[in-house]
Amino acid sequence: MIEVIQKQINDPDVKECLTGIKSAVNYDREGVSLLVKFFATRREQNIPIGFIDGTIYQTLLKMNDQSLTQEMITGLNLAEGTIDYLQLFNLLSLGEYQQADVLHNQKMCEASGTNAAERGWLYFTDVEQISLQDLQTLDRLWVVFSEGKFGYSVQRKIWLNLGKNWEKLWKQIKWKQEGSFARYPGGFIWNLDAPRGHLPLSNQIRGNKTLEAIFNLFSKIEQ
């Protein structure tokens, strides 16, 4: 019954809330109305766009409803700046994580303002040229459309909790198994069955300096 779903989405337990949101897909227009109202209530409470809202939007897309698209774009500040993040927004909202990861790398290179876009990958020195706004935008897109599982901020938190031990990080996020880095693309998990921090990818063949530089930028965000 729709009343049960309504109770679930208002549950303070995040897992229960997400279960309720995703269950609304079985209730047609009643489900759409419930989710749109829940989204509006969160905005009235001045709650920043987060992964609960991302899950609401992804569920509505499955129900062929795009009524919240502009509010999501505005709430994620995608219209600000000179870089177009709309395609990445679309891919992540649809759960197309492999395609999104490729585009994400391109946007990181573009955001650096260096010749990284021509090169196709970042030097750690390129990272210093990325604005905090661009980094936050890219990170929020991953977090919002992965139930909080993916994003640089998620990876960084795991890294810090592991005492900045790279080998432990690779193992925990399953980039490395049995002593070897996973092979692209089949060695990676392109859905929400992946462990926390699994995406976005960063090529570690050239070392971890670039990813460490990205993580270090977040210390400026937290100041």
Q: Is the bond preceding 48 in cis, omega lying within 30 degrees of 0?
A: no
Quote the percentage of the chain above a pLDDT of 90.
Answer: 88
Domain containing residue 9: 2-75
Which pLDDT does position 223 carry in this prediction?
58
Q: Which long-range contacts (CB under 8 A, 24 or more apart) does 14-18 make?
A: 14/52, 17/52, 18/52, 18/55, 18/147
Specify if 80 maps to a domain. no
The answer to whether residues 26 and 61 belong to one domain is yes
The answer to whether residues 112 and 11 belong to one domain is no
pLDDT digits (tens, 9 = 90+) for 59-118: 999 999 999 999 999 999 998 778 999 999 999 999 999 999 999 999 999 999 999 989
The answer to whether residues 106 and 213 belong to one domain is yes
Quote the percentage of the chain above a pLDDT of 70.
Answer: 99
Specify if 84 maps to a domain. no
Q: Name the domain count of the chain.
A: 2
